[in-house]
Structure 1
Amino acid sequence: MMSKGQGFGFGLGKMKELSEAFKKAQQVQEGAKKLQEELEQMEIEGQSGGGLVKVVLSGNQEPKRVSISPDAMNEGAEVLSDLVSAAMRDAYIKSTETMRERMEELTGGLQLPGL
């Protein structure tokens, strides 16, 4: 037996809180979409061997291009593949940090439960 005005055990305050949370979640979602577009346009460069090899990734880690200087070519295949790997790792680390920073900016100040 429910007493009048109790509804589903949801006080009015709760409803207000809930709608605020929804509003914030929506803002985050819109921001995330914008961020995704920004990340796609972004170019993050990793390098190795003091710039002998450069790898460019988009902000969401899609490979864009690799440039290899003629000097690096003279190092031989094994060294060259190490240089390419190192440059890729460098670009990957930078893009991961960039992504994390942007996500923190996006969700910063939002007390979303469970995040």
Structure 2
Amino acid sequence: MFGAMKGLGDIGKMMKQAKEMQEKMAQMQEELDHVEVEGRSGAGLVQAVMSAKGDLRKLTIDPSLLNPNDAEMVSDLIVAAVADAREKAAVKMQEEMAKITQGLPPGIFGG
């Protein structure tokens, strides 16, 4: 009988930990909206700034690239800069998730 009661205590502890995890994740999502990463391409001629959540915030194109004959190259550089920023945003998100899920059993949240 007492063994069953002990199991209830473990479930209560797990529920409390799950609630704390949910609160930490919500806080992390809010914080990541304010963290910015910068991607670059073309030796810095094109720069893309994104939130760590992946929202494009700013795109800077060096005026030397604004030759109409180079439109395709500029387009490629923009795509590369945004991809670079998106990759950095994903790394930042993983770093923050690792901080939150540290110490959890393997397999929880895909870990």
TM-score normalised per structure 2: 0.88
Q: Which has the higher helix share?
A: 2
Structure 2 unmatched runs, 5+: none
1:89 and 2:83 correspond: yes
Tell me how many residue pairs correspond in the alignment: 108
Q: Who is 2:45 aligned against?
A: 52
State the Cα deviation string for residues 17-62 of structure 1 (Å, max 9, x = none). 1111111111111111110111111111111011100001111111
Do residues 102 (structure 1) and 104 (structure 2) align?
Answer: no
Query: Runs of 4+ in structure 1 displaced over 6 angstroms?
Result: none
Q: Percent identity?
A: 34
Q: Distance in 1 between matches of 2:107 and 2:42?
A: 45
Distance in 1 (CA, whole Å) between partners of 2:107 and 2:72 is 50
Q: 1:40 aligned to 30, 33, 42, which one?
A: 33
Give the partner amino acid of 1:16: G
1:14-29 maps to which residues of 2 (within 5 A)?
Answer: 14-29=7-22
Q: CA RMSD in A?
A: 1.8
Structure 1 residue runs of 5 or longer lacking an equivalent are none
C-alpha distance in structure 2 between counterparts of 1:77 and 1:32, whole Å: 42
Tell me if the contact between 1:21 and 1:112 (Cα under 8 Å) persists in the aligned partners: no
The question of whether the paired residues in 2 share the 8 Å contact of 1:44 and 1:94 is answered with yes
TM-score, normalised relative to structure 1: 0.85
Structure with larger Rg: 1
